[in-house]
Chains A and B, each alone.
Chain A
Amino acid sequence: MNDALDLDAIRRRLATSEGRRFWRSLDEVAETAAFTELLQQEFPRQAAPIAEGVDRRQFLRLMSASLALAGLGACTRQPPEYIVPYAKAPEDGIVPGEPLFFATAMPLGGGALGLLVESHMGRPTKVEGNPQHPLSLGATDVYAQASVLGLYDPDRSQVITSAGEIRPWSAFLATLRAALEAQRAKGGAGLRILTETVTSPTLAQQIRDLLAEYPQARWHQYEPLARDAAAAGLRSAIGDDAEVHHRVERADVILALDADFLACGPTAVRDMRAFSMRRRPAAGAPMNRLYVVEPMPTVTGGVADHRLALRAGDVERLARAVAAAVGVRGVTAPGGLATHAAWIAAVARDLAAHKGASLVIAGEAQPPAVHALVLAMNETLGNIGPIVIYAQPFTMPGEQAASLGRLADDMEAGRVDLLLILEGNPVATAPADLRFAARLEKVGLRIRLGLYDDETSRLCHWHVPAAHYLESWSDARAYDGTATVIQPLIAPLYDGKTAHELLAACSQRGDGAQSAYDLVRDYWKRQPFSGDFEAYWRRALHDGLVPGTSGLLRIPKGRGEGVVPPWVEPAAAAGALEISFRPDPTIYDGRFANNGWLQELPKAMTRLTWDNAACLAPATAERLGLANEDVVELRRGERAVRAPVWIVPGHAADAVTVHLGYGRTRVGRVGNGAGFDAYVMRTSDAMWIGRDLEIRKTGERYALACTQDHQSMEGRDLIRAATIDEYRADPAVLRERAPEEPGDLSMYPPHRYEGYAWGMAIDLSACTGCNACVVACQAENNIAVVGKDQVGRGREMHWIRVDRYFEGALDAPAIHHQPVPCMHCELAPCEVVCPVSATVHSSEGLNQMIYNRCVGTKYCSNNCPYKVRRFNFYLYSDWATESLKLQRNPDVTVRSRGVMEKCTYCVQRIQHAKIKAEKEDRGVRDGEIVPACAQACPAEAIVFGDQNDPASRVAKLKAEPRNYALLGELNARPRTTYLAKLGNPNPELTRG
């Protein structure tokens, strides 16, 4: 288009033209080839499909052939691909009303969580943990619980597109093959594949095969939350690629250095189970003790016996001091932590006193030196072997940010002709200094496989919708190596493709149309197995585990001491603050930004929904004159972003924590525009910690939706807590502060519950406040998402909430969590005030809500001391979106406008178990009924059962001296009771 225009010719043309007198540009008049091409790109419909035109005879021939082929096409059948249900095979196929469970796994962040997925009539509706899977043990995290909503997300991309036009798969294949053909000659020198951390053995094999075909091609892995620092630190310390594994259940003393190991990372679910096991006084083994050093309060910091708020950049300083104190050779304590000397000494003494039974963990955000230091500390403490294991990684090793940097350099240099981006969203998540988006445009052909037509897809020539993991055949290795074959629960809703299919199409081998099922099956057929493959395969699908895959390849011993690099005093700009980048507690790295359940899930420590914020300490806010919801400009050099302030008690001073994943512009109706984009500030040299933050108050305000405005218990007896030593000495210590319960004041004899008496016990010692119960309840009970505006008005709908209270000093408060579902009071205040009997008591002690009788006076909610009732102020349930209808649990009513709702103890599960027991002519067994919250809980903090049965777990827990009723003095006699929180503080530190 920039060729010199022949202006004379244009004049002549305009002078002689007849008819057409409007022209759009000089190019148009000149009828340059470039303009014609532009026109056809902009308006592809105007491009002539058959250049020469068609005569009548040819047209008819084409039409008849097309029609015949269309008819034939309808005759093709999907080849049968059998998925295998968990536990019991249906006798006559699907029984309506009887859900089936299938084992599968959800890959995330370089690991995978083994799951059982509930399927109603072919629709996956609910995700549970797979009890046989070593990293799940039957529990799940919030991401897995919410993933079922992601499957049905109506905003997922649904068609293959190129330049905004819908194109068929065949057209895509033609483009892809042509581009690959061009690469073949060069040995693939211009071919790059960018994936997230690949945990699928089949996919890894496919990529390796492709790289064998194109030896010059490169494979890059990038995830914004990759464990690069750990990889670098361990490689320097061990001399080989390694990953660290912990046996948390064996540790008596744990020191977590900026490590949120209970809530983040691929082993969090198992680690939380292991940790909580050792928090119960009845557990047999002594209670563990947890020390946490971190800048921003996390789930792990919340349950710590001693938590020290320290800037992330100062953690290394403290780690070195502790290492020096426990006797790691070659490490000296740097200065600058005089105020914490007693703390450090006490922790070091405690660790040293538990040699071989202690554990030091370094967080992903800490630099490589800390990981090397932690290895040395664990070695000195004799923990390597019994508690800490270093093993070869199961995924492709290497630092991912550096890898992405090399790709960006190649793109800049024009060395990349064909780029396959398989999932991930590098345009949004790449370090800002890589200028990934700008460089991406220099790639000849950019192909993207993704769940959403997002920021990356917008810059790609082709977008292929990816299949969700619940609609894919694939496989995945968990962090400990356990492989699971991912079974699809449903055929792809939107014709999504798996990465397997896309890579198979790239390969010369095979016919390019292999199904993912064949690829995965063939892979495992080539692996060693015992006996008949068919039986082995079915077994693997059924159990959700491929037998014999979970062994760790241990690296016997690190190079050990002396590998820790010497301390370099960081050069911080005077007056600058520190910024920490953290994964978001609910939307992770941003991939779940369009998931309404996760957006509305209150974040464990801030209780914020729908937004991230610049979190900072009360003292810092005071110094800078900032209040909650003030908008500040965060600036690192030239990179700046505006963010609302949220003051977090217990945050380290002079530091700001921001959570990644918000500020998405192109993800869907739910996630677009929520929060601010913290990736803008994140650079390759400061992936987690930046020391050069400037902050400026803008004077603007931005409303945040927080679900808990008040953080103090106001001296009320809501959470009872004591130390384990006090409790062991005298269990009555817990009742000292408690108000007197009125006992039986009635003139009438108490109502006797014959048969079952359902009750619940929640162990506050075990609960970490991770929120898994909240999402599980939302998924099970068809609870609506109300949106930020309604949350801001106090109208969120969660049936179970996790109350979070701070206790003590503003800068270093103790943090308490308390999950609050409906208490199912025996003398329920809500029941007497309902004028239409819409909430009534069952013979088994359930407080039942009858939606179709409810007229909506809301009196019950006013009279509920626990405020657990939720009202449908508007028509909150989405009755219109077809795909969301598929997600709903058919056993639970979808509520309409104007009715009250609340926790039912999952009455549908109770009924299901009762009917089953009745058919088998027996009573319901203990543990047969598990409400969704209890099932998801990684800490096993929630126990449900028949309290009339003295042998039941719940009855035994309620018999413990720790058991108490919340607001028991009101004499409502709640069926949900709490077990007091016990801590195990170091006497050395509490004495002062």
Chain B
Amino acid sequence: MSTPVLEARRDSRPPVIAPGHTFETVTDRISRVVLRRGTPRGWIVGFALSFCLMMVLFYSVAALLFRGIGIWGINQPVEWGFDIVNFVWWIGIGHAGTLISAILLLLKQEWRTSINRFAEAMTLFAVACAGLYPVLHLGRPWLAYWLFPYPNTMGMWPQFRSPLIWDVFAVSTYLTVSLMFWFVGLIPDLATLRDRSPSRIGRGVYGILAMGWRGSAKHWHRYETAYLLLAGLSTPLVVSVHTIVSFDFAVSVVPGWHATIFPPYFVAGAIYSGFAMVMTLAIPIRKFYNLEDFLTMRHLDNMARVMLATGLIVAYGYMMETFMAWYGGNPYESFMILNRFGGPYAPQYWLLITCNVVIPQVLWFRRVRASIPALFVVSLIVNLGMWLERYIIIVVSLHRDFLPSSWGMYSGSIYDWSMFVGSIGLFLSLLFLFIRYLPMISIFEMRTLVPGAEVKEETP
């Protein structure tokens, strides 16, 4: 194969792939992370830490199953606490992957290529973490399968009017489609790894996973069709999952939950937190694995813009909640808002406003968007803010609802925190395994970005 002369695109913005790369260098750079001999020390340290945190999760789950959910801080009236906060937070994080992969694919945003694989994996792992909570938050988690419609001797079906049942379908569908989308997208790269793997085991395992991919035109054709179809399937799911999660709240009568703005507000919040998490993870990884060529400033800049846009939608949501509490004339609603502003959880509320509304406004400035440390800090703050948002919505609405006699207070117990931290451990452990054993950037799609990949009519 001849080596074409590569030229940087003529574009004022930074390129999506650094100049000077060929098919060979792209393939080499990405697959080397997986196929290299020996594991880098940094990876071992990081994985060990994550693994320890994951063990904290397992311990907490064992304690929970053994003793009961009383080990959490939940009480009457706040019957949902960290469990559902974490569920919604993780599900929100799980939004970015599919959005990047599917919607941006359909919109032909080619810059998505270098982050989509990685974001999709993050989605899967976040949804896996999220999926823990609806099961574990049950008083009797071993009966969680009763939420699925399956033929049984009891002659019982789930109660289809309950938003929790919609959740079951929404989340499991999302998980399934995301998994398929991710796996289908991996097949050509798995074949590359199979071909390049120096070890027998590697060749065997990657070979099986590659499902006989030979790179023929027919394969490519079918692959493109399937991938496009899955992208089409995923696109409505991005919107539907968090819409339905928001129904858990919107369908109820609780002041602070019962609001029609919830679906778009939740979807925007999910994308917001999802992009923040991608950014949080991408910045250190591109540094440690020297992938600055593939994950360029262009990507970070684009993600920052998306964050800014969705952050503004979320801010609009906060504004509308407040406005409707006044405009609606419902005394319970207006009390709820005043209680957020000045009640016992006011510090958390104002911290949330600071994290989600005030600080992200710095992303208007190009200089901030070009500064990696600034972006990293902002993304962490947004992650925190989005967690607080769910805390405010769930806990603060419940702790003071209709009858003042039943008002109470809530705070997370040690087990609430250990499960939260532990689920981050699970997430990171899965991510480390993914980085080590699978190509974290789509090799074949990156190759299409190499300028020489564009088939041009040669002028004689």
Min C-beta distance of B255 to chain A, whole Å: 10
B333 in the interface (beta carbon within 8 A): no
| Known A837-B159, A857-B137, A874-B68: A718·B251 in contact at CB below 8 Å | no
Contact yes or no, B252 A829, CB < 8 A: yes
Contact yes or no, A794 B75, CB < 8 A: yes
A219 in the interface (beta carbon within 8 A): no
Interface contact tally, CB-CB below 8 A: 161
Instruction: Determine the chain B residues whose CB is within 8 A of the CB of A899 once the complex forms.
Output: 139-140
B401 in the interface (beta carbon within 8 A): yes
Instruction: Determine the chain A residues whose CB is within 8 A of the CB of B137 once the complex forms.
Output: 857-858
CA A867 – CA B76 in complex, angstroms? 8
| Known A716-B404, A865-B253: A898·B69 in contact at CB below 8 Å | yes
Min C-beta distance of A712 to chain B, whole Å: 6
B109-151 contacts to A, CB under 8 A, are 137-140, 143-144, 146-147
Contact yes or no, A835 B164, CB < 8 A: yes
CA A865 – CA B330 in complex, angstroms? 15
Chain B binder among A81-89, A254-262, A678-686, A848-856: A848-856
Instruction: Determine the chain A residues whose CB is within 8 A of the CB of B403 once the complex forms.
Output: 718, 803, 820, 865-867, 966-967
Contact yes or no, B139 A854, CB < 8 A: yes
Chain B proximity mask over A638-651: 1 for CB below 8 Å, otherwise 0:
00000000000000
Question: Please, which residue of chain B has its CB at the minimum distance from the CB of A838?
Answer: B159
Question: Please, which residue of chain A has its CB at the minimum distance from the CB of B413?
Answer: A793
B445 in the interface (beta carbon within 8 A): no
Instruction: Determine the chain A residues whose CB is within 8 A of the CB of B144 once the complex forms.
Output: 855
Q: Which of A709, A832, A835, A872 contacts B408 (CB 8 A)?
A: A709
Instruction: Determine the chain B residues whose CB is within 8 A of the CB of A972 once the complex forms.
Output: 253
A870 in the interface (beta carbon within 8 A): yes
B170 in the interface (beta carbon within 8 A): no
A859 in the interface (beta carbon within 8 A): yes
Contact yes or no, A861 B76, CB < 8 A: yes
CA A856 – CA B64 in complex, angstroms? 14
Contact yes or no, B140 A856, CB < 8 A: yes
Contact yes or no, A855 B404, CB < 8 A: no
B161 in the interface (beta carbon within 8 A): yes
Instruction: Determine the chain A residues whose CB is within 8 A of the CB of B251 once the complex forms.
Output: 832-833
State the main secondary structure of chain A at its contact with B: loop
Q: Which of A805, A871, A897 contacts B405 (CB 8 A)?
A: A805
CA A724 – CA B407 in complex, angstroms? 32
CA A833 – CA B257 in complex, angstroms? 14
Contact yes or no, A710 B405, CB < 8 A: yes
Chain B proximity mask over A180-218: 1 for CB below 8 Å, otherwise 0:
000000000000000000000000000000000000000
Q: Which of B74, B77, B139, B252 contacts A898 (CB 8 A)?
A: B139
B165 in the interface (beta carbon within 8 A): yes
Contact yes or no, B67 A874, CB < 8 A: yes
Contact yes or no, A832 B402, CB < 8 A: no
Instruction: Determine the chain B residues whose CB is within 8 A of the CB of A836 once the complex forms.
Output: 146-147, 156, 158-159
Instruction: Determine the chain B residues whose CB is within 8 A of the CB of A793 once the complex forms.
Output: 73, 75
Q: Which of A714, A835, A872 contacts B165 (CB 8 A)?
A: A835
A553 in the interface (beta carbon within 8 A): no
B264 in the interface (beta carbon within 8 A): no
Instruction: Determine the chain B residues whose CB is within 8 A of the CB of A834 once the complex forms.
Output: 159, 162
Contact yes or no, B253 A874, CB < 8 A: no
Contact yes or no, B254 A862, CB < 8 A: yes
Contact yes or no, A862 B404, CB < 8 A: no
A843 in the interface (beta carbon within 8 A): no
B335 in the interface (beta carbon within 8 A): yes
Contact yes or no, B401 A865, CB < 8 A: yes
By CB atoms of chain A within 10 A, which of B80, B144, B405, B409 has the most? Answer: B405
B392-419 contacts to A, CB under 8 A, are 398, 400-409
A875 in the interface (beta carbon within 8 A): yes
Q: Which of B70, B404, B406 contacts A874 (CB 8 A)?
A: B70
By CB atoms of chain A within 10 A, which of B139, B162, B168, B409 has the most? Answer: B139
Min C-beta distance of A312 to chain B, whole Å: 29
Instruction: Determine the chain A residues whose CB is within 8 A of the CB of B252 once the complex forms.
Output: 829, 833, 859, 862-863
Contact yes or no, B69 A714, CB < 8 A: no
Min C-beta distance of B330 to chain A, whole Å: 9
Instruction: Determine the chain A residues whose CB is within 8 A of the CB of B80 once the complex forms.
Output: 858-859, 862
By CB atoms of chain A within 10 A, which of B146, B159, B254 has the most? Answer: B159
CA A837 – CA B300 in complex, angstroms? 48
Chain A interface, number of residues (Cβ within 8 angstroms) = 57
Q: Which of A713, A855, A874 contacts B138 (CB 8 A)?
A: A855
Instruction: Determine the chain B residues whose CB is within 8 A of the CB of A900 once the complex forms.
Output: 139
CA A710 – CA B405 in complex, angstroms? 6
Contact yes or no, B139 A853, CB < 8 A: no
CA A866 – CA B76 in complex, angstroms? 11
A842 in the interface (beta carbon within 8 A): no
A970 in the interface (beta carbon within 8 A): yes
Instruction: Determine the chain A residues whose CB is within 8 A of the CB of B159 once the complex forms.
Output: 832, 834-837
A32 in the interface (beta carbon within 8 A): no
B73-109 contacts to A, CB under 8 A, are 73-80
Min C-beta distance of A780 to chain B, whole Å: 21
Contact yes or no, A795 B76, CB < 8 A: yes
CA A793 – CA B157 in complex, angstroms? 35
Contact yes or no, A871 B156, CB < 8 A: no
Contact yes or no, A867 B163, CB < 8 A: no
CA A804 – CA B405 in complex, angstroms? 7
A708 in the interface (beta carbon within 8 A): yes
Q: Which of B67, B140, B161, B404 contacts A712 (CB 8 A)?
A: B404
Contact yes or no, B331 A716, CB < 8 A: yes
Question: Please, which residue of chain B has its CB at the minimum distance from the CB of A967?
Answer: B402
Min C-beta distance of A900 to chain B, whole Å: 7
CA A97 – CA B77 in complex, angstroms? 37
Min C-beta distance of B366 to chain A, whole Å: 45
| Known A710-B404, A863-B254, A865-B402: A855·B79 in contact at CB below 8 Å | no
| Known A854-B139, A874-B68: A820·B405 in contact at CB below 8 Å | yes
A126 in the interface (beta carbon within 8 A): no
Q: Which of B70, B138, B162, B407 contacts A710 (CB 8 A)?
A: B407
Min C-beta distance of B221 to chain A, whole Å: 43
CA A862 – CA B76 in complex, angstroms? 8
Contact yes or no, A867 B140, CB < 8 A: no
Instruction: Determine the chain A residues whose CB is within 8 A of the CB of B253 once the complex forms.
Output: 829, 863, 865, 970, 972
Instruction: Determine the chain B residues whose CB is within 8 A of the CB of A804 once the complex forms.
Output: 405
A794-815 contacts to B, CB under 8 A, are 794-796, 801, 803-805
CA A156 – CA B27 in complex, angstroms? 80
Instruction: Determine the chain A residues whose CB is within 8 A of the CB of B140 once the complex forms.
Output: 854-856, 897-899
Instruction: Determine the chain A residues whose CB is within 8 A of the CB of B76 once the complex forms.
Output: 794-796, 861, 867, 869-871
Contact yes or no, A871 B139, CB < 8 A: yes
Contact yes or no, A833 B138, CB < 8 A: no
A873 in the interface (beta carbon within 8 A): yes
Contact yes or no, A859 B164, CB < 8 A: yes
Contact yes or no, A867 B401, CB < 8 A: yes
CA A311 – CA B95 in complex, angstroms? 66
Q: Which of A867, A869, A872 contacts B139 (CB 8 A)?
A: A872
Question: Please, which residue of chain A has its CB at the minimum distance from the CB of B146?
Answer: A836
Contact yes or no, A803 B405, CB < 8 A: yes
| Known A829-B253, A833-B164: A866·B147 in contact at CB below 8 Å | no
Instruction: Determine the chain A residues whose CB is within 8 A of the CB of B77 once the complex forms.
Output: 794, 861-862, 867
CA A78 – CA B372 in complex, angstroms? 91
Instruction: Determine the chain B residues whose CB is within 8 A of the CB of A873 once the complex forms.
Output: 68-70, 74-75, 139
CA A867 – CA B406 in complex, angstroms? 7
Chain B proximity mask over A699-720: 1 for CB below 8 Å, otherwise 0:
0000000001111111110100
| Known A835-B158, A855-B147, A867-B77: A794·B408 in contact at CB below 8 Å | yes
A-B residue pairs, 9 tightest by C-beta: A856-B139, A898-B139, A873-B70, A794-B75, A803-B405, A867-B406, A858-B79, A835-B164, A898-B140
7 A-B interface contacts by CB (under 8 A): A832-B162, A834-B162, A835-B165, A836-B158, A862-B254, A871-B76, A970-B253
Given contacts A795-B76, A856-B69, A856-B139, 9 further A-B contacts (CB under 8 A): A710-B407, A712-B404, A801-B405, A820-B403, A836-B156, A855-B146, A866-B403, A898-B69, A899-B140
